[in-house]
Structures are given as structure tokens and as C-alpha cells.
Amino acid sequence: MMVLKMVKISDLKIIGDDKVTAIGMGTWGIGGYESPDYSRDEENVEVLRYGLELGINLIDTAEFYGAGHSEELVGRAIEGFDRDELFIISKVWPTNFGYERAKRAVRASAKRLGTYIDLYLLHWPGTEWRKIEETLHALEELVDEGLIRYIGVSNFDLELLKRSQEAMRKYEIVANEVKYSLRDRWPETSGLLDYMKKEKIALIAYTPLEKGSLARNPCLAEIGRKYGKSAAQVALNYLIWEENVIAIPKAGRKEHVEENAGAMGWRLSREDRERARGCV
């Protein structure tokens, strides 16, 4: 893996037994939203490859994104890179929960990606605990088969995360992907973040820039000037300051990916981090 010169050891986080960059690339809307969009395929692949060339080694996708087309684009983007140096996350939608359906969903995702999946998540809790439990047990069997390497959840609150941990028979829940940003700090106030730190579970923060609004925050921009950084980089650094937090801003354009990467390799002071909270 080509690692950014600016990346320090503190910006390599742990998922399971693997080291990943503290900033990954999110792909919601890349290749379409709830249906495929082929209009920017070449550009999307090029942007993802650019991020990999910079040294970002984590890509987050899902079967729901573009009805699977996002996974296909990720599969194209990683061609030619050392697969063992990359970390690919995908997710199963609640309509595919259940023992057999989940297994079929994983196999379909792996086929679209053209590779095994490092971390496979339950995308949303759904409404039936029985289906969640069946899905977790199915994923454990797929770890044994080598189709996936780790199991996680997404959008699970503290109570449901604990219940999911208790349901595991053989492996552990290694990650929970949730909405987390300077504007939406519920993982901090709910006790979820502290619990996940204690349990050594990675917290993967999606929508970390609040769809770009934090990148336009003048107060964050003022803090950033002290470090030679942008408002967006301050907002991302606030999150990865926590030892178990990984942020996955959308990899929409090359300049955004490069700016996102620049959120690594430095740290806000404790005082400036507290000040950033007051900016939103």
C-alpha cells in the first residue's frame, strides 16, 4: 500500500486485527442511489483509484447503493492494487436478513466486487430480532468459508449492539457504522462511543461532514487556519481524534478525496477540539 507521507501511526486504526486509515472513502450515491446510475462510471472509478493511490486503504459500500452498482464500481477501482493491503466494507439490507437470504446477498456482493469482503455489516436493524440473529449466524458461517473476514453492524444503538454481541456464537462484532459528526454527537452523549472504546469495537462515522455543511462553517475555518487546514479537515480531525473512530466522507471528487486525506497526520489540541464543539 502506498501510504500518505502525512499519515502517522496514530492515523492507522484497528478493525479486527487489521490496520486501516483513519479516513476511508464512502460510496453512497456513487453509481446511483436506490437505482443504478451509469452516467459517471469512469469518473467515479478514477476518483476511487486516486484515493487508493494517495494511500487511503478503506472503501465503504453496500448492496443497497445503486442497487449493487456501487459495489461493481468498487470492484473495478481496486483492480491492479494489492488486495491484501485494502479493506473493503459492504452491507446487507434488511430485506435480505435471514439465514439463507443473507448468504445469497453476501455471495452476490462478493461477485459484484470480484473479491472477498473484509467487513460485512447489517445495514440497519430492521424490525425482527429473529432475522437479525439468523443473519449474524449465517455471517459467522461465511467467515469460516472465507467469503467475509469480519462481522459488524450499522445504525445499532447501544442496547441492540450489546444484544448482537451476546448472540454471536463464534466470532465478535468488530465494528458499528453510525451517523456521527460535530453536529450530531449522539454516540458521545448516548454512551455508545465510550462502550465501543472499552470493547475495542471500531466506530465508523458516516455523514461526517453533514453533506458538506461543516465544510462551509466559518468558525471551523477559523480554527483550521491555525493548523493550515480547512473547515472540513477540522471537522474530520475532530472525529478521528478518538482512538477507535474512522470517518468515511463521500469520495465524490478528486479534490474532495485529497482534502479528506489531509485531515490525517496531525491533531487538534484538546482546547481547539473543545472549541470546535461550540462552532455548531
Which residues does the annotation mark as catalytic? Answer: 65
Instruction: List the beta bridge partners of residue 53.
Output: none
The sign of the CA dihedral 102, 93, 254, 57 is: negative
Tell me how far the alpha carbon of residue 156 is from its chain's centroid: 14
From the CB of residue 182, how many other CB atoms can be counted at a distance below 10 Å?
A: 22
In one-letter notation, the amino acid at residue 63 is: E
For residue 206, which of 84, 124, 99 has the smallest C-alpha distance? 124
The per-residue b/e assignment along 128-161, b for 16 or more CB within 10 angstroms, e otherwise, is: eeebbbbbbebbbbbeeeebbbbbbbbbbbbebb
- Cα(280)–Cα(104) distance, rounded to whole angstroms? 43
Reading the block at residue 69, the C-alpha cell is 452498482
- Cα(156)–Cα(218) distance, rounded to whole angstroms? 32
